[in-house]
């Protein structure tokens, strides 16, 4: 297949290497020093003590890659506007677009089954409706990534979760389709786990439960996820925040399994904290403001989430990384 990874940073570059080594023709939309190194020397993926190398096409101009059989967007929520600008030249008549990002996606209400509670107005996740106007419903495939990666040098990505690298996918209306089954087989064949998912929004909320609680606490404290989880000062805070997060998720998707503070926590900084420290735009809307809007629409009281959201917005605004 001809596959474009749109927004090939850490996670996207990891997937690009895996897919290229599985025999696919991979093109990456990327920028900066990472782009220049990949154009000259290819991509390097470090997994434990091992190293994988792959040659891929790379450009900051999507038009240079031509029409694709599949587009996988690994852009963060703050960068999906560039997808609206660059997607057109990548699309053939039937090219699907996997939209994989953290948090609540702009397309959440698109194809929503009638038995699901209606979401709040999420227009703030797609300013001006640019994505909604340019990506037809039939192209949309929801995606949820479980994989920790870091660009450690231009052209070099380290995988920090060698035992857990997943891309869960599903149609936006949750119907079973042959193209989803085919794409899962393709991903599994590239060592990217993609088990069946009954409802893509269940997967979205399952990951969001951790991001809207533990990851945001990492942002506020400057600590790794493991350090926050093990911090005595957080022993009462985390369960209370998770209780609120669970109540929101289960109101909208009752099948979502409750998350508790027990369980493993990686000893690294989540992406929202990395973005803050590097002075990059932050996914506050998708990770914090959107869940808070869902809570209000459901009439749920979430004082902990409201407080954490306000503090996160203030912290980002003080550094010039967030504007309402």
The residue assigned the tokens 């190194």 is 37
Q: Give yes or no for residue 312 having a pLDDT over 90.
A: yes
DSSP 134: H
Q: What is the CATH number of domain 2-198?
A: 3.40.50.720
Q: Give yes or no for residue 264 having a pLDDT over 80.
A: no
Strands (DSSP E) along the chain, which ranges?
Answer: 2-6, 25-29, 43-47, 50-54, 57-59, 70-73, 97-100, 140-146, 149-153, 156-159, 166-171
Q: Give yes or no for residue 9 having a pLDDT over 60.
A: yes
CATH architecture of 203-318: Orthogonal Bundle (1.10)
Using a 10 angstrom Cβ sphere, with 0-12 exposed, 13-18 middle and 19 or more buried, the burial of residue 181 is exposed
Q: Give yes or no for residue 262 having a pLDDT over 60.
A: no
Q: Looking at residue 258, what is its pLDDT?
A: 92
Supply 224's token pair: 């790794």
Catalytically active residues are: 207
Residues of the chain above pLDDT 70, percent: 98
CA 243 to chain CA centroid, Å, is 23
Rounded Cα gap, residues 59 and 122, in angstroms: 32
What is the arithmetic mean of pLDDT over 301-317? Answer: 95
Q: Looking at residue 178, what is its pLDDT?
A: 97
Q: Looking at residue 200, what is its pLDDT?
A: 97
DSSP structure string for 40-86: HH-EEEEETTEEEEE--EEES-GGGT--BSEEEE---GGGTHHHHHH
DSSP structure string for 104-121: S-TTTTTT--TTSPPP--
State the number of CA atoms in the 13 A half-sphere of 167 facing the CB. 28
Supply 278's token pair: 């590097």
Question: Global pTM?
Answer: 0.94
Supply 281's token pair: 């735009």
- Nearest in space to 214 (alpha carbons), one of 161, 172, 273: 273
What is the arithmetic mean of pLDDT over 269-280? Answer: 92
Structure confidence by residue, pLDDT tens digits, 54-92? 999 999 999 999 999 999 999 999 888 889 889 999 999
Q: Looking at residue 86, what is its pLDDT?
A: 92
Q: Give yes or no for residue 105 having a pLDDT over 90.
A: yes
Structure confidence by residue, pLDDT tens digits, 154-202? 999 999 889 889 999 999 999 999 999 999 999 999 999 999 999 999 9
The residue assigned the tokens 């990949």 is 38
Rounded Cα gap, residues 28 and 9, in angstroms: 9
DSSP 255: T
Domain residue limits, the chain: 2-198, 203-318
Using a 10 angstrom Cβ sphere, with 0-12 exposed, 13-18 middle and 19 or more buried, the burial of residue 16 is buried
Q: Looking at residue 289, what is its pLDDT?
A: 92
Q: Looking at residue 263, what is its pLDDT?
A: 63
Contact 115, 43 (CB under 8 A): no
Among the ranges given (28-42, 59-73, 117-131, 242-256), the one the predictor scored with the smallest mean pLDDT = 117-131
């Amino acid at each position: 297949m001809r596959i474009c990874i749109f927004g090939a940073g850490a996670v996207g570059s990891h997937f690009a290497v895996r897919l290229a080594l599985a025999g696919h023709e991979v093109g990456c939309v990327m920028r900066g020093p990472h782009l220049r190194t990949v154009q000259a020397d290819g991509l390097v993926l470090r997994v434990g003590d091992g190293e994988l190398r792959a040659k891929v096409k790379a450009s900051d101009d999507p038009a240079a890659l031509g029409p694709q059989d599949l587009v996988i967007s690994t852009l963060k929520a703050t960068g999906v506007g560039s997808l609206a600008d660059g997607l057109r030249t990548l699309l053939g008549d039937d090219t699907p677009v996997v939209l994989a990002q953290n948090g609540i996606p702009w397309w959440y209400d698109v194809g929503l089954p009638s038995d699901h509670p209606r979401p709040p107005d999420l227009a703030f996740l797609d300013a001006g409706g640019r994505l909604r106007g340019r990506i037809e419903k039939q192209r949309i495939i929801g995606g949820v990534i479980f994989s920790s990666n870091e660009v450690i040098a231009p052209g070099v990505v380290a995988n920090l979760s060698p035992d857990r690298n997943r891309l869960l996918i599903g149609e936006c209306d949750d119907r079973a389709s042959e193209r989803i089954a085919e794409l899962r087989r393709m991903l599994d064949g590239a060592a990217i786990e993609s088990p069946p998912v009954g409802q893509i929004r269940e997967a979205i909320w399952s990951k969001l439960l951790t991001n809207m609680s533990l990851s945001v606490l990492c942002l506020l404290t400057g600590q790794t996820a493991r350090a926050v989880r093990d911090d005595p000062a957080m022993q009462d805070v985390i369960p209370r925040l998770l209780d609120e997060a669970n109540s929101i998720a289960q109101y909208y998707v009752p099948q979502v399994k409750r998350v508790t503070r027990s369980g493993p926590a990686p000893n690294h900084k989540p992406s929202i904290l990395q973005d803050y420290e590097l002075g990059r735009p932050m996914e506050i809307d998708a990770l914090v403001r959107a869940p808070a809007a869902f809570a209000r629409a459901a009439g749920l009281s979430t004082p902990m989430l409201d407080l954490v959201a306000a503090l996160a917005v203030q912290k980002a605004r003080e550094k010039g990384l967030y504007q309402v």
